[in-house]
Structure 1
Amino acid sequence: MKQLIVTLIVLFVQLMARAQDSTKHVTQTPTGLGAGNKIYVVLAVAVTILVGLILYVIRLDGKISKLEKQSS
């Protein structure tokens, strides 16, 4: 319950911080990863790694379950 309350407080503070953004929709030239759409490459690599890890854990769980059934 405490964790839920802390999470809600953090989200509320974040919303309040964004509500007080004083920029007037100034168009800026993108810099960094957003300049050449490199952010999508980074996102694709991160998602690929995450999916790979999830599939590995699922496969490992199946093997462990199989070994547990054989040892019983």
Structure 2
Amino acid sequence: MIRNRISLVCVLTLLVQQMAFAQQASGDFMRSIGRIYVVVAVILIIFFGIVLFLIYLDRKLTKLENQIKENE
């Protein structure tokens, strides 16, 4: 049982190291051709879109809650 866990931990450690190396190489490639800024810009646009939608939804729900309180 302990041997299986040690083996699993070793395999997971190797996989994590391999993924970190692959991501670093990919990041360097994206930076070298200037596309990393496009990726960051798209992620920021999506993030701000979600934030604005949540603010809009919160205001709409607040209005509906106030209407329900007034009708009671």
Query: Which band: TM-score by shorter chain?
Result: 0.5 to 0.7
By relative contact order (CA 8 Å, sep 6+), the higher-ranking structure is: 2
- What is residue 46 of structure 1 aligned with on the other side? 46
How many pairs were matched up?
54
- What is residue 18 of structure 1 aligned with on the other side? 16
For the pair shown, which has the larger CA radius of gyration, 1 or 2?
Answer: 2
Tell me which protein shows more helix as a share of its residues.
2
User: Within 1, Cα distance between the matches of 2:25 and 2:48?
Assistant: 34
Sequence identity, in percent? 13
TM-score, length-normalised on structure 1?
Answer: 0.55
Segments of structure 1 that go 5 or more residues without pairing to the other structure are 1-15
TM-score, length-normalised on structure 2?
Answer: 0.55
